[in-house]
Amino acid sequence: MPKRTDISTILIIGAGPIVIGQACEFDYSGTQACKALKAEGYRIVLVNSNPATIMTDPDLAHRTYVEPITPEFVAKIIEKERYAVPGGFALLPTMGGQTALNCALSLEKMGVLKKFDVEMIGATAHAIDKAEDRELFREAMTKIGLDTPRSHHVKTLTSALDALDDIGLPAIIRPSFTLGGTGGGIAYNKAEFIEIVERGIDASPTSEVLIEESVLGWKEYEMEVVRDKADNCIIVCSIENIDPMGVHTGDSITVAPALTLTDKEYQIMRDASLAVLREIGVETGGSNVQFAVDPRTGRMIVIEMNPRVSRSSALASKATGFPIAKVAARLAVGYTLDEIANDITGGATPASFEPTIDYVVTKIPRFAFEKFPGSEPTLTTAMKSVGEAMAIGRNFAESLQKALRSLETGLSGLDEIEIDGLGKGDDMNVLRGALGTPTPDRLLVVGQALRLGMTQQEIHEASKIDPWFIARIAEIVTLEAKVRKFGLPKDAENLRSLKFAGFSDARLATLAGMEEKDVRVARHALDVRPVYKRIDTCAAEFASPTAYMYSTYETPFIGVPASEAQPSDRKKIVILGGGPNRIGQGIEFDYCCCHACFALDEAGFETIMINCNPETVSTDYDTSDRLYFEPLTNEDVSEILDVEKSRGTLVGVIVQYGGQTPLKLAHGLAAAGAPILGTPVDSIDLAEDRDRFKRLLDKLGLKQPKNGIAYSVEQARIVAGELGLPLVVRPSYVLGGRAMAIIRDNSDLDDYLLGTLPSLVPSEIKTRYPNDKTGQINMVLGKNPLLFDRYLTDAIEVDVDCVADGEQAIIAGVMEHIEEAGIHSGDSACSLPPRSLSPEVVAELEKQTKSLAMALGVVGLMNVQFALKDGGIYVLEVNPRASRTVPFVAKVVGAPFAKIAARVMAGEKLSTFTLPSGPIGHIGVKEAVFPFARFPGVDTVLGPEMRSTGEVIGLDTSFEAAFVKSQLGGGTKAPREGVVFVSVRDADKPRILPAIRELKEIGFSVVATGGTARFLQEQGIAAQKINKVSEGRPHIVDAIKNGGIQLVFNTTEGAQALADSRSLRRAALLHKVPYYTTLAGAVAAAQGVRAYVSGDLEARALQDYFVPARG
């Protein structure tokens, strides 16, 4: 059927900031949808508050709104765009995750869609409601004869307790309309049940939860299904969770295709999936259906379905090469599957041709529990992972071990792991306990249990992991035992067998007691090298022109080409991606990698992307000319470079766009003869080498805080004593402030040296030197020393981004942090241009940045962080690479700096580019978004270690309006009226007065703790005293829980005050009350609330702020 011609404009709602449960897979799907529908001739209007996305680049949609994704703002956008051009207006809500679905449903219920004659396409409001409302979904499944877990749908705690009498414990609590299981969990006792139910009712936008029978230990499967309006249906991919039920699928290790289903079981599940889509009413797009199977009885139940593209859709797309989001977008405008050509096969097959794969894909989540001290690393039905790595192999073992080393957590494969409690008594009991507790490391525990003599059956009984997977892990353990006993094989056949089982050179070196480089030399001497196969959706049944590849050590079959890489004879540039998302290294770096691909393609180079993150746009098959889905290790990257160098000209490798991941490889690649493009590797080292960097600053006449360096625990104590407290301490060569801390007293120093530093020791060192903790730490510090800086209290922090070509440097943006220095730059809100700095100070910051760029020989991007205190400018650190602020600066200034820098690295000069000059007439505010609600035991106070998962932008002509937009975009419910609670440290009391007066002027009431209330009353501000938690009830936490507080300002000083106010911050978080824990944040919030109350916030397209410069 032809595409619809009655529609002229399509509004696509994005997913907003990166949060746990909703990451950059929605930038991938949204970008595909924008490109596909724009190519069909539709006018595309996009709304997304995340500046680090490719989809918000101003040339992707016709109208791009980087505005909060709230019904209020999207309604303003619809009103503005509905009649801008003639023709029908449609809303596509299925590309932006739960955020987009919930927003679309709200617009429907508010009557906005009816008022402006807007049609929802891709999924109807009725279908979304039916799938997302737990009770309606259960009724729908009963109607078509599919089993679901026994359950009760409740809205109050009283009803939930009644339901518990029927369901029993353990019970699973699932809130309706939430993301990634937010607010849900598994209750094993009544107290836990009450706590999770209350949390779930709060988390659900409709205040509804499902109380469900426990299916813990059952096997979990997913089906990725696509259906068109003619009722053509295909299964794109089946996915099997290695972790049994009880772990959120986003936190589970998964494989594709499903490996333990019989053909009959698969067909039953397939038929059930199609029946689910038909009954729910998904007629034009993709959906994900989740099943659980009791391994003892074979009973199959439907858990849930997502009537949209999802995290699993992105994984299935990358696993098969089938572009689900692109196809779903075209189905939404009237096409049928048989009318859409499959790009991967060059159009040789239609999209109705069900993908077939002849390899195994493994996805492993990446966690960040180390960022949240006090959090419990137990996995439940509420998602906690922050990213994921994917690997492809010709068998499960090869795929699994590649995935493990892709995580970048220090693993080289199925490594040994320390298990608490071993060697102190009943080791088998300890192992059973470790296997029965779902944690990020449970698969490694399986390996360790096998090494310690536990049987496969005992492991299955303890973990409920399917015996097939345990048997494959046992085969890996058997092979490694042979290497330990006999050393590295001397013949090609046995060595290739080990490599085919996924063993990396680094892992073999550890097992054989050799150096990694010696394993590589021996392997090459035997001509044991990987071959590269193509992802083609059809198991090589048709030729694929798409160069989307993975490696394998499979022995080539007779008559089959060993390698399908087929390198070209063009000039080529390799871009190294950032690997799995993590806190400190996320979508911002993938944005830069994509821009490098786009810019270098425009400049005539062949672009080659290496990455292992299935969520990203960079791993889309058409972002680069050639894509290698491989781990980012020296071994894997070097093998690819050897293949690509065999034909054509390898111009160089870009390492400065993927964060810390590729930078760690730069030395090894350069030593192997790979040309590194851009800033010299030595300059990157110089910026991290404290002694050399200090000499450079002295030579340039620039200041830095008093500092020191320590290569051992003993030296750290000496340096701290010499510098004096307070201090900021961080390890070298880390990203996101990993293990960075403020040391205020000797107790803090002891906690840091003996508590924090051991977490940085790689498992290999722990295994080699198990009983020498201090020695382990000193080995790490010997290569990556500790850096100490005197802490500049109450300083203003500034970020400056620049681009340089070795001869000239231009300033991209100067950003003033809203929070004071000492809060990690990734967690601090910032404004561009600066809101309080004088032109003279800005000019001096720009001058110092340019002198650093020239002195370091920067070619490409550079970021400098400064602190301003008492008229002095201090250099905190220099990063001669892409920073996480690059996308934000590009959106605010209107210049594609990542593209420009990529072309500069390829040899062009800055003088050849036309860039914006002069002041801009608007202001951008970047705000961080945090996952604290996912970690119940964690305090929400910010510090020098980064803990945010994503960011949003507020863009307007005033700081106040831009700031409140950034808060709304990040999910904060800014109040228009009500009560503000104030409790601030003594030093902040005089400085908070203007903010309190501002709120009083617009009608807010004030309550405060004793000392703050007295001070405010002395200054003529009416303030009612309220009890601290320690002063007895009713206290501030009661007031928050009772809905009596709409805004919280709370700054503290000292460990005791911090501990006393922890429950207050936690209550504000859980009850969605905006809270600010820094003075600067509170002042900005008061200004923002005033702008919000005035009601003059405008929705304005990015294209209206400026005509963007082109690289």
Residue with tokens 């002063």: 1031
- Determine if the peptide bond prior to 833 is cis (ω within 30°): yes
**Last-in-domain residue among 197, 214, 231:** 214
User: Taking a C-beta distance cutoff of 8 angstroms, is the pair 945, 738 a contact?
Assistant: yes
Q: Is pLDDT above 50 for 162?
A: yes
Confidence of residue 560 (pLDDT cuts 50, 70, 90): low
**Last-in-domain residue among 191, 214, 237:** 214
Confidence of residue 517 (pLDDT cuts 50, 70, 90): very high
Condensed to tens digits (0 to 9), the pLDDT of residues 170-184 reads 999 988 877 777 888
Would you say residue 19 lies in a domain? Answer: yes
The DSSP symbol for 356 reads: B
Would you say residue 1046 lies in a domain? Answer: yes
Average pLDDT, the chain: 92
Would you say residue 596 lies in a domain? Answer: no
CATH no. for residue 1022?
Answer: 3.40.50.1380
User: Any idea which of 252-261, 879-888, 1077-1086 has the lowest mean pLDDT?
Assistant: 1077-1086
State mean pLDDT over 1070-1074. Answer: 89
State mean pLDDT over 660-686. Answer: 94
User: Taking a C-beta distance cutoff of 8 angstroms, is the pair 900, 910 a contact?
Assistant: yes
User: Are residues 814 and 902 both part of a single domain?
Assistant: yes
CATH no. for residue 175?
Answer: 3.30.1490.20
Considering the entire predicted model, what is its pTM?
A: 0.94
pLDDT at 1: 62
CATH no. for residue 872?
Answer: 3.30.470.20
User: Are residues 780 and 833 both part of a single domain?
Assistant: no
User: Are residues 50 and 108 both part of a single domain?
Assistant: yes
Q: Is pLDDT above 50 for 1109?
A: no
Pick from 65, 90, 77: nearest CA to 8: 90
Confidence of residue 737 (pLDDT cuts 50, 70, 90): low
CATH no. for residue 477?
Answer: 1.10.1030.10
Instruction: Name the domain count of the chain.
Output: 6
pLDDT at 53: 97
In the chain, the percentage of residues whose pLDDT exceeds 90 is 76
Which H or E run includes 353? none
In the chain, the percentage of residues whose pLDDT exceeds 70 is 98
User: Are residues 818 and 917 both part of a single domain?
Assistant: yes
User: Taking a C-beta distance cutoff of 8 angstroms, is the pair 413, 502 a contact?
Assistant: yes
User: Taking a C-beta distance cutoff of 8 angstroms, is the pair 32, 329 a contact?
Assistant: yes
User: What are the start-end ranges of the H helices in 970-1043?
Assistant: 989-1001, 1010-1018, 1036-1041
User: Are residues 972 and 865 both part of a single domain?
Assistant: no
User: Are residues 111 and 180 both part of a single domain?
Assistant: no
CA distance from start to end of the chain: 40
Would you say residue 440 lies in a domain? Answer: yes
What's the rounded Cα separation, in Å, for the pair 349 and 338?
9
Condensed to tens digits (0 to 9), the pLDDT of residues 332-381 reads 999 999 999 888 777 778 999 899 999 999 999 999 998 888 888 999 98
Which H or E run includes 927? strand 923-929
pLDDT at 918: 80
Strands 531-534 vs 547-552: parallel, antiparallel or unpaired: antiparallel
Pick from 305, 315, 439: nearest CA to 380: 439
pLDDT at 483: 98
State mean pLDDT over 610-626. Answer: 96
CATH no. for residue 60?
Answer: 3.40.50.20
Q: Is pLDDT above 70 for 927?
A: yes
User: Are residues 963 and 1078 both part of a single domain?
Assistant: yes
State mean pLDDT over 227-249. Answer: 95
Confidence of residue 735 (pLDDT cuts 50, 70, 90): low
pLDDT at 1111: 43
What's the rounded Cα separation, in Å, for the pair 628 and 630?
6
Helix (H, G, I), strand (E, B) or coil at 1076: strand
**Last-in-domain residue among 862, 894, 928:** 928
Phi/psi of residue 411, each to 5°? Answer: -85, 145
pLDDT at 964: 95
pLDDT at 1106: 78
Those residues whose C-beta lies under 8 Å from the C-beta of residue 1051, and which sit 6 or more positions away, are 983, 984, 985, 988, 1077, 1078, 1079, 1082
Domain that holds residue 924: 792-928
User: Are residues 780 and 839 both part of a single domain?
Assistant: no
Confidence of residue 1110 (pLDDT cuts 50, 70, 90): very low
User: Are residues 758 and 834 both part of a single domain?
Assistant: no
Would you say residue 1107 lies in a domain? Answer: no
User: Any idea which of 327-336, 533-542, 873-882 has the lowest mean pLDDT?
Assistant: 533-542
What's the rounded Cα separation, in Å, for the pair 24 and 26?
5
User: Are residues 506 and 462 both part of a single domain?
Assistant: yes
Tokens of 585: 């290294």
User: What are the start-end ranges of the H helices in 421-515?
Assistant: 427-436, 442-451, 456-463, 467-486, 492-500, 505-512
pLDDT at 561: 67
pLDDT at 1108: 47
Those residues whose C-beta lies under 8 Å from the C-beta of residue 287, and which sit 6 or more positions away, are 131, 224, 225, 226, 227, 276, 277, 280, 305, 306, 307, 308
User: Are residues 897 and 803 both part of a single domain?
Assistant: yes
Q: Is pLDDT above 80 for 621?
A: yes
What's the rounded Cα separation, in Å, for the pair 657 and 860?
10
Would you say residue 15 lies in a domain? Answer: yes
Confidence of residue 631 (pLDDT cuts 50, 70, 90): very high
What's the rounded Cα separation, in Å, for the pair 44 and 191?
50
Would you say residue 962 lies in a domain? Answer: yes
Pick from 23, 20, 35: nearest CA to 10: 35
Would you say residue 249 lies in a domain? Answer: no
User: Are residues 782 and 818 both part of a single domain?
Assistant: no
